[in-house]
Structure 1
Amino acid sequence: MSVWIRAERGSIVVRTPGRPPVSGRLHARTLLVCAGLLAMTAAVTLAALMLGTVVYSPGEVVRALFGEAEASAELFVVQWRLPRAVAAAVFGAALGVAGAYFQSVTRNPLGSPDIIGFSAGASAGGVAVVAYVGSGFALVAGGALLGGFAVAAIVLLLSRGGGVAGFRLIIVGIGLSAMLASLEAWFMLSADLAIAQAAALWGVGTLNGTSFEYTGPAMVIALVATLVSGVLLQRRLGLHDLGEDLSASLGVRASHTRLMAVVAGVLLVAVVIAAAGPIAFVALAAPHVGRGLAGSTGASLAPAACAGALILASADLAAQHAVPGHSFPVGVATVAVGGLYLVTLLVRENRKGTL
């Protein structure tokens, strides 16, 4: 099967034969931005593999990855550091795409799963499972999915009068998040002390103890769900951004697009939360950073994914090594920086009159 590729006005048009043919437009600036973000993510990942109690050179890291280094180097680099570095990039990309989905559906710059309560629902569901059932990935993932979808249904129901794109949805989500935070605290206070401590650490958002054996399934699910949902929703969200009437005239119902985006977003958030806990503000910041760098509008999924991977990888590296002698959960770093970013975003959007 041949592929037709043509450069046109700062973008690359790709078309494959078939009935019907599949075509798409890749903007040159978007490609360059994504390549740059991925290169920086690779550099941060390399630094994460090099730094630690024992520091290795780039050459030693490469040899360890190819199984040509000493056993101790392979233990530190491949078995201990590599799973965490890969998880940071994959989970960051998943959160970035999830944030892009919710911001596109709500048409609000604050439409992030952190703000509108979906992350809080998934977190509360996961904590309840950890505290009263068990800590297996399948159990926690099930609890997180159930909590996320339950909160999504409640938020959409309570905000129905203001529309899914209305400001009421944001207010309802913030209020529900506060209630769920109290419920989550009650779960931990009523659980066994050791379990409560583990749940509290997980509730901050952490990549400590990440391994391919335990976290590997979550990485695979998050990566596949990100890619598949992105392919299915990129065009639909682009039409959705043009308005419901025009979208419907082109054969894409806005209600179906919103439902697909919410389901995909909650799934991505729940998988990440099940494996690493509720890592805040990545889903809020990554779409803005990606769109700003790419100079695009609407749901720019690829830049959001690449920006999310870089943000979370950098945050985890900083959490581990910014303070000598201390290693913090990555959620501490994202909250510290994300809170400042949220204030900046509120001020900027208020000046634009979009809030």
Structure 2
Amino acid sequence: MSATVKSGEAVGTEAGKGRAAGARRVRAVRTKGGLSVRLDMRATAVGLLLLAVALAAAVALIGSGDYPMTPSEVLAALTGGGDAGQQYIVHDLRLPRVLVGLLVGVAFGVSGAVFQTVSRNPLGSPDVLGFSQGSSVGALAAIVYFQADAIGVAAGAVAGGVGTGIAIFLLAWKRGIHGYRFVLVGIGAGAMLYAMVLFLMTKANIVEATRATTWMTGSLNGRGWDQVEPLAAVCAVLVPLLLFFGRPLRMLEMGDDAAYALGVRVDRVRIVVLLTAVVLVAAATAAAGPISFVALTAPQLARRLNLPRRLKGGGGAPMPGPNLVLSGLMGAVLLVAADWASQQLFGADQLPVGVLTGVLGGGYLLWLLATERKAGRV
């Protein structure tokens, strides 16, 4: 059966005539066991589309490189066909890289949606608020002072990201965490941590500096199963945990007073989801480096795709809802597509994906600031 429900958007009287301007199509699906699940038809369609695009981009990326392969050859190798050379190229060289890209994109997309929802600010992104810089400081300290291997660098990145998150929480706490205070403290912390990154670079020798610069750029080059397995385990635990808090996060977007009235323990939910998102960001950064702007752009693009057409086109922070699943899928699409584009434009392993996402994301940030200023929000 189907029903029409309001999406939470403010609806003007003249927009209605009995129907809300933001009305959504929701279908209730009943299983044989009596379980009933409500599906937002537009969100489901957008999610399936993003999943298909992500898988298509993954197949195209696996087929790219010095030894190009057609999609049919890639699919044959993935399903056990093809010759021994194709099996080795796909399973040992390219598949781990693509899986890391998909997992990192999901992690950045979901965590970015959490940060923007909690702060109620479109600039609430890990790379804007200093969490990525904190991971960079931890990784560089491991490289410069301990000459750590890949596992040590990853551990340093996780420790730096989590430590930065705790520090920002403590500095921003005053009878709870207010969105704009959280953003301002995060931006200030990010500036200080970037200065620490520059200091560590001056203390490094030429070999360490080269290694640190390569890591800080953000790249999927050389990623193997050693990065896939721990990142997959982290995502398997933390992403479902954040999805479990999807409804309270939606209530938080209505404001603290409304969330309290609806029975949400605001401070507890905010702390749990932020700490979980920080660990998720730190793990993704440890696997691929601080790839910029994916966490900023993915949630907003996902929200725009999920908006009814009549509500589009005004403002830089479309609503409603955190759209965690769509944000994760959009993050995967953006990262894998950017890596494929960098290979097509500049050759295999010539341009790290972090450079391309930084250029495109920087342009998106300028557009976002312009639209926010035009709307009177900044």
- Check if 1:256 corresponds to 2:256: no
CA drift at 1:352 = 1.5
Deviations 1:18-63 (A, max 9, x none): 9xx9876321100100111111111111111112111112221122
One-letter amino acid matched to 1:343: L
Within 5 A, what are the aligned runs for 1:110-125? Answer: 110-125=123-138
For residue 105 of structure 1, what is the aligned residue in structure 2?
118
One of 294, 306, 315 as aligned partner of 1:282: 294
One-letter amino acid matched to 2:28: V
Describe the shift of the 1:178–1:331 C-alpha distance in structure 2 as closer, same or farther (beyond 3 A): same
For residue 320 of structure 2, what is the aligned residue in structure 1?
297
Higher mean C-alpha displacement, 327-336 vs 165-174: 165-174
Secondary structure of 1:322's aligned partner: helix
Secondary structure of 1:255's aligned partner: helix
Deviations 1:219-257 (A, max 9, x none): 313431353223321112112223323323333211011
For residue 96 of structure 1, what is the aligned residue in structure 2?
109
For residue 199 of structure 1, what is the aligned residue in structure 2?
212
- Check if 1:12 corresponds to 2:7: no
CA drift at 1:200 = 1.4
For residue 140 of structure 2, what is the aligned residue in structure 1?
127
Higher mean C-alpha displacement, 150-159 vs 248-257: 150-159
One of 283, 296, 299 as aligned partner of 1:271: 283
Within 5 A, what are the aligned runs for 1:2-41? Answer: 6-9=1-4, 10-13=25-28, 25-41=38-54
One-letter amino acid matched to 1:247: A
On the 8 A contact 1:222/1:272 being kept in 2, the answer is no
For residue 251 of structure 2, what is the aligned residue in structure 1?
239
Higher mean C-alpha displacement, 312-321 vs 331-340: 312-321
One-letter amino acid matched to 2:321: G
One-letter amino acid matched to 2:230: A
- Check if 1:312 corresponds to 2:357: no
Describe the shift of the 1:269–1:329 C-alpha distance in structure 2 as closer, same or farther (beyond 3 A): same
Within 5 A, what are the aligned runs for 1:326-337? Answer: 327-337=350-360
> In 2, Cα distance between the equivalents of 1:35 and 1:325?
29
On the 8 A contact 2:217/2:290 being kept in 1, the answer is yes
For residue 365 of structure 2, what is the aligned residue in structure 1?
342
Secondary structure of 1:278's aligned partner: coil
Higher mean C-alpha displacement, 109-118 vs 124-133: 124-133
On the 8 A contact 1:137/1:275 being kept in 2, the answer is no
> In 1, Cα distance between the equivalents of 2:238 and 2:77?
29
On the 8 A contact 1:90/1:222 being kept in 2, the answer is no
For residue 323 of structure 1, what is the aligned residue in structure 2?
346
Describe the shift of the 1:151–1:263 C-alpha distance in structure 2 as closer, same or farther (beyond 3 A): same
Aligned residues: 347
> In 1, Cα distance between the equivalents of 2:70 and 2:263?
55
On the 8 A contact 1:145/1:266 being kept in 2, the answer is no
On the 8 A contact 1:12/1:28 being kept in 2, the answer is yes
Describe the shift of the 1:325–1:271 C-alpha distance in structure 2 as closer, same or farther (beyond 3 A): closer
Describe the shift of the 1:166–1:66 C-alpha distance in structure 2 as closer, same or farther (beyond 3 A): closer
One of 36, 42, 67 as aligned partner of 1:54: 67
One of 234, 238, 241 as aligned partner of 1:229: 241
Secondary structure of 2:127's aligned partner: coil
For residue 230 of structure 2, what is the aligned residue in structure 1?
218
One-letter amino acid matched to 2:245: L
Secondary structure of 1:114's aligned partner: helix
- Provide TM-score, normalisation by structure 2: 0.84
On the 8 A contact 2:100/2:287 being kept in 1, the answer is no
Describe the shift of the 1:42–1:168 C-alpha distance in structure 2 as closer, same or farther (beyond 3 A): same
Secondary structure of 2:291's aligned partner: coil
One-letter amino acid matched to 1:306: L
Deviations 1:283-339 (A, max 9, x none): 000000000001151311011011111001111112222124762111101101000
One-letter amino acid matched to 1:98: S
Secondary structure of 1:8's aligned partner: strand
> In 2, Cα distance between the equivalents of 1:231 and 1:262?
13
CA drift at 1:135 = 3.9
CA drift at 1:143 = 2.3
One-letter amino acid matched to 2:299: P
CA drift at 1:145 = 3.0
CA drift at 1:162 = 11
> In 2, Cα distance between the equivalents of 1:64 and 1:219?
24
Q: CA RMSD in A?
A: 2.4
> In 2, Cα distance between the equivalents of 1:83 and 1:280?
21
Higher mean C-alpha displacement, 82-91 vs 236-245: 236-245
Describe the shift of the 1:15–1:133 C-alpha distance in structure 2 as closer, same or farther (beyond 3 A): farther
> In 2, Cα distance between the equivalents of 1:110 and 1:15?
39
> In 2, Cα distance between the equivalents of 1:47 and 1:65?
13
For residue 95 of structure 2, what is the aligned residue in structure 1?
82
Unaligned runs of 5+ in 2: 5-24, 308-318
Describe the shift of the 1:266–1:183 C-alpha distance in structure 2 as closer, same or farther (beyond 3 A): same
On the 8 A contact 1:155/1:173 being kept in 2, the answer is yes
